[in-house]
Homo-oligomer: A and B are copies of this chain.
Amino acid sequence: MRAWESNIRKVVPYVPGEQPKGDRLIKLNTNENPYPPAPGVAEALKHMDIDRFRKYPDPTASDLVHALAEYYGVGDDQVFVGVGSDDVIAMSFLTFFNSEKPVLFPDVSYSFYKVWADLFAIPYETPALDANFCIHPEDYYRENGGVIFPNPNAPTGLLLSLEAVEDMIRHNQDVVVIVDEAYIDFGGKSALELIKKYENLLVVQTFSKSRSMAGMRIGFAIGHPDLIKALNDVKYSYNSYTMNMPSLILGTETVKDDVYFKETVQKIIDTREWSKTRLTELGFTFPDSMSNFIFASHNRVSAKELFEALKKQQIYVRYFDQPRLSNYLRISIGTREEMEALFAFLEKYLAQ
């Protein structure tokens, strides 16, 4: 080993999910929205003034922050924005989880929590989901350095009731509790209404799923002004200008078109519910997802086999080669047409 290598941070490199290229493939593997961004976004893009790009963007992201604050009925000083919810949560780990005690999150959950904890050398423990993939709030009643969980959970899609979420917060008022609501718009009840009551609650959401903007990288956190200030202090100590001009301009535009937002979300919910029926008919079982994906297992054919067979047809779903998850496929909800193509193939394949 060369001497300078000894000072390099050791991390287990996270391998990002497959991003296959091509126009004819059906991509149901990364929980993207099947519908394009709101019409106003295309309009704003058309009028974007390239000459402004030579200048730095607004470091406070004030327009986007204000649009979100207004939409969710909170103060501008209660909103933090970042480069996707990954950036927001990574910065939250760095900002809020500085205890010697372990941070708690479910053993089956968003896989990045472990990666961030490792990156920043944060101790953690992972209470196990039960046999039905459910989170039990009482597993989080013990001493810890912080709590984070997705609601609905990934990759199961299972939703905790707002009462259960509040129960977890109530038992953890000495630490920061982060509720990662990447998928909340697809049928869940947000914990946002609890932020008035709990100063230690941070709710994180993203533009990548319900708002059709994965390609723009926008995430946000809402919480008590003191939490947001602490996040901003760290953000300004890392990179003052994380959000580029297009994301500020187009992100703001996205928030404004609430009609389009609600229509497309409803279409996805409808397709999901119909997909559940079709999956059941085809012999699949699955936790009752309230997100934009379904985590499904077939009663006869292995998930791995189905994953490979689908891939050959240019239909991409997500497969997790790990304990407890290896006989499931995580299938993102596409358009009705995409799902029909998926089920048509599965019907044929499973009849063999």
Contacts and interface: CB of A to CB of B under 8 A. Distances in A.
A64 to B, nearest CB: 13
A37 B48 CA distance: 13
Which residue, of A42, A208, A236, has the highest number of chain B Cβ atoms within 10 A? A236
A259 interface: no
Oligomeric state, in copies: 2
B3 A83 contact: no
Interface string A255-276: 0000000000000000000000
Contact of A50 (B36, B97, B234): B36
A239 B83 contact: yes
Given A3-B174, A16-B241, 15 more contacts: A7-B98, A7-B145, A8-B176, A11-B233, A30-B56, A34-B54, A37-B50, A53-B214, A55-B215, A83-B241, A94-B119, A216-B246, A217-B241, A217-B243, A244-B246
Contacts of A12: 237
A239 B55 CA distance: 25
A126 interface: no
A57 interface: yes
A214 B12 CA distance: 32
| A-B pairs with lowest CB-CB distance, top 8 | A3-B174, A16-B240, A53-B215, A215-B245, A13-B233, A246-B246, A16-B59, A86-B239
Contacts of A83: 83, 239, 241-242, 244
Nearest to A103: B7
A307 interface: no
Nearest to A198: B4
A145 B2 CA distance: 14
A10 B12 CA distance: 27
A53 B238 contact: no
Contacts of A51: 36-37
A239 B84 contact: yes
A70 to B, nearest CB: 20
B232 A13 contact: yes
A178 to B, nearest CB: 11
Contacts of A134: none
A175 interface: yes
Nearest to A212: B54
Interface of A: 2-9, 11-16, 19, 27, 30, 32-37, 41-42, 45, 48, 50-60, 83-84, 86-87, 90, 94-99, 115-116, 118-119, 145-146, 173-176, 199-200, 208, 212-217, 226, 230, 232-234, 236-247, 250
Contact of A87 (B115, B176, B230, B242): B242
A36 B53 contact: yes
A126 to B, nearest CB: 17
B215 A54 contact: yes
A53 B32 contact: no
B236 A4 contact: no
Which residue, of A30, A90, A247, has the highest number of chain B Cβ atoms within 10 A? A247
A273 B139 CA distance: 68
